[in-house]
Each structure stands twice: as structure tokens, then as C-alpha cells.
Amino acid sequence: MYTCANCTIHACKTGQRDKMPQNCPMRDPEFFERLLEEYEKPENHDFFVCSSAIEAMGYCQWPRLREVVEFARRMGYARLGIGFCSGLRKEAAIVDRVLRSNGFEVVSVICKAGGIPKKKVGVTAETVFPQGTDHLRPVQLELLDAPMCNPIAQAQLLNKAGTQLNICLGLCVGHDSLFYKYSQAPVTTLVAKDRVTGHNPAAAICYADTYFADRLKGGSL
Ligand code: SF4
């Protein structure tokens, strides 16, 4: 099993291959040689080279939104898609404006598209909280009455519109996964939803041992 997250050697970065840990994936060099072929495939090659170019060109200068603009321009894309959360509708309008001002056509779809009640797809108080709802805050119960988020519809509507790159703007955990899964165009994440940190999930990681320690303990509901 690979445990790069716990490695302190990082021979992959330093080049000290004689110091590789026993379970280092680089102990199978043929694997890495074979998969280079994937980067040579037409659908991956320019995309990957362009990603690396953008990383270098705007390094520590361009905010991510600018990187998306530059990446899309360099790839020659004309029509971009945005799949966004209704909680970030103001931000979606700003992203739309910035993209258009940079010459792109923009297609955007909100998460609530369809306006379908959650219970139609089996999201009910009983299925979400089988242990009962007495302990819930009113806002949590109200959530169950809101229309469902519809990431599959978001992706498929963007597919119908023929977008060439889709931008994920603040979709919920799991909803984002379905959006990625159903998008025909490649997806890049511009905003990762995190209601507690102002959409900066890294804050909870950086302060996992201090300010966020209690709130990172599972099973609290
Ligand atoms: S690839 Fe090998 S050296 Fe690099 S982090 Fe993983 S275990 Fe460590």
C-alpha cells in the first residue's frame, strides 16, 4: 500500500533514489515508463503540456481565475461551462463576466436546475437522519425541503451546449464528483465549497491541530 502522504524522504523530488522507502511506488519503474504513453495520447498531450506551461507562466502571480482564463485561451477553447452552487450565484455572475470580458462564450447552470424536490430521489428526513431528527437545528430540517442539487443535470446541460472546458464553482462534496463524472468536457475546480471557511478548505487543514481540532472529529451528528 502506498503512503506518500506520510513519507519524509521525497526521493521523487530530490532524486535520491537510493533512499526510496520500501513501499515507494517508484520501486516499479516499468509502471512509470508504461504510463508515459498516456501523456503521448493526442487527447492528453497538449492538455498536459498547457497545464504545466500555465503553472510556470503565472507562478505565484496569477490567481486561479486568471489561470483558468489563460489555460482556456492557450488551449484554443471558445465555449466554457460553469456548474455552480446557488449559494455562490453572485460569484458565478462575476466569473461569467470575467470570462466573457476575456472573449469566451459562457454557458452556466445552477445546481438547483430542475427544481425537483429532494424526496423524489429518496432524500428524506428518515433516510438522511435514521437516528431521528429531534436534535437537528431548524436550518438543517429546512435543507431537506429545498429543491435537490442536480449535478448530473448541470453536466448534461453543459454537454448539450457543447462546452469545451467546465468550471466547477462551489458544488457540494459528492455533488462535485457526479458533476465530474457526467461532464464530457474536462472539468477544473475554481472554488471548492466549504461553508465554514469561506470556501477555503485549506484553512481547516492548516489548523487541524489547533482551531479546527474539535470540528474535525467525526460522528458529531
Ligand atoms: S514516491 Fe516514494 S519518495 Fe516520493 S513521496 Fe512517495 S514514497 Fe516518498
Task: Say which DSSP state 186 is in.
Answer: -
Task: Say which DSSP state 211 is in.
Answer: T
DSSP run (H or E) holding 80: strand 79-84
What is the structure's pLDDT at 200? 98
pLDDT tens column, 151-166: 999 999 999 999 999 9
Question: Is residue 221 predicted with pLDDT exceeding 70?
Answer: no
At residue 178, φ and ψ (nearest 5 deg) are -70, -35
Q: Within a domain: residue 85?
A: no
How would you label 62-89 residue by residue, b for 16+ Cβ within 10 Å and e otherwise?
A: eeebebbbbbbeeeebebbbbbbbeebe
For the CA of 7, the closest atom of ligand 1 is: 8
Is the CB of 128 within 6 Å of ligand 1? no
pLDDT tens column, 19-42: 999 999 999 999 999 999 999 999
What count of other Cβ atoms lies within 10 Å of the Cβ of residue 11?
15
Q: Within a domain: residue 44?
A: yes
DSSP run (H or E) holding 110: strand 105-110
Q: How far apart are CA 111 and CA 171, in angstroms?
A: 8
Q: Within a domain: residue 34?
A: yes
Cell of 15: 532524486
Q: Within a domain: residue 102?
A: no
Of 6, 16, 20, 23, the residue with max ligand 1 atoms within 8 A of its CB, to mutate for a pocket test, comes to 20
Tally of domains in the chain: 1
Q: How far is the CA of 53 from the centre of ligand 1 (A)?
A: 24
For the CA of 23, the closest atom of ligand 1 is: 7
Of 9, 22, 23, 28, the residue with max ligand 1 atoms within 8 A of its CB, to mutate for a pocket test, comes to 9
Of 2, 13, 19, 24, the residue with max ligand 1 atoms within 8 A of its CB, to mutate for a pocket test, comes to 24
Q: Within a domain: residue 214?
A: no
Is the CB of 29 within 6 Å of ligand 1? no
Nearest CA to ligand 1 atom 6: 4
Q: Within a domain: residue 192?
A: no
Q: Within a domain: residue 188?
A: no
For the CA of 21, the closest atom of ligand 1 is: 7
Predicted confidence band of residue 134 (pLDDT cuts 50, 70, 90): confident
Q: How far is the CA of 34 from the centre of ligand 1 (A)?
A: 19
Is the CB of 4 within 6 Å of ligand 1? yes
**Residue 67 C-alpha from the chain's centroid:** 15
- The set of residues, in sequence order, having a beta carbon less than 8 Å from that of 26 and lying 6+ positions away, is 11, 12, 17, 20, 32
Q: Which domain holds residue 42?
A: 24-61
DSSP run (H or E) holding 104: none
What is the structure's pLDDT at 97? 98
Please name the residue that has the C-alpha cell 500555465.
54
Contact of 95 with 169, CB cutoff 8 Å? yes
pLDDT tens column, 83-108: 999 999 999 999 999 999 999 999 99
Q: Within a domain: residue 166?
A: no
Report which residue type is found at 151: P
Q: How far apart are CA 27 and CA 190, in angstroms?
A: 35
